[in-house]
Amino acid sequence: MATAGGLIRDEKWIRGFFMIIGKTTCAMAEIWGIRQGMFLAKSLEVAKLIIEADAKWIIDALNKDEIDNSQMTVIVKDCVEMKEGWVTEIRHTLREGNRCVDRLAKMALEKRRDCIFWKSPPDELQPFLQADSHGLETLRW
């Protein structure tokens, strides 16, 4: 079962979400999460957006405005169209830099809920947010 999560923040939490996507590939889950995050940012009228993801191929596809995989073309095209005149930067982060989003995605399975939006960070996410705010590093294997 594929899930996705995302959060919008500046110096502090603004909004977050998680969602169950269903049976699909990890790649599809990644792009669905980015798309949902972009919809959320638009609805909140976020003026400048920086998208970070640990899937380098998605970053490359969004920066080039193209993708070869026809199954994902429509979703990527949605993202490319949404970013026009709005997204300031799309950048790659290591998986360790994406721990909050990964935790949100795992919560979708634990809570067995299709899609949840959070105005305040859930308690389960607090240790990850605190580690991020203090710049704590994690080991890579």
Question: Residue 37's pLDDT is what?
Answer: 94
Q: Which amino acid is at 125?
A: L
In angstroms, the CA 53 to CA 34 distance is 8
The ranges of the chain with pLDDT < 70 are 65-72, 95-97, 133-141
CB distance 36 to 21 below 8 Å: no
pLDDT for 36 equals 94
CB atoms within 10 A of CB 83: 18
Domain boundaries, the chain: 2-133
What is the reported pLDDT for 116? 86
Element (H, E) at 18: strand 13-22
pLDDT at position 70, please?
61
The pLDDT score that the predictor gives to residue 131 is 76
Distances (CA, A) of 134 to 3, 11, 17, 127, 130: 27, 12, 23, 11, 6
The tens digit of pLDDT for each residue in 77-98 reads 888 888 888 877 888 877 666 7
Q: How do residues 60-76 score in pLDDT, each as one tens digit?
A: 888 875 556 565 678 88
56, two tokens? 């380098």
Q: What is the CATH number of domain 2-133?
A: 3.30.420.10
pLDDT at 99: 80
pTM over 0.75: yes
pLDDT for 134 equals 59
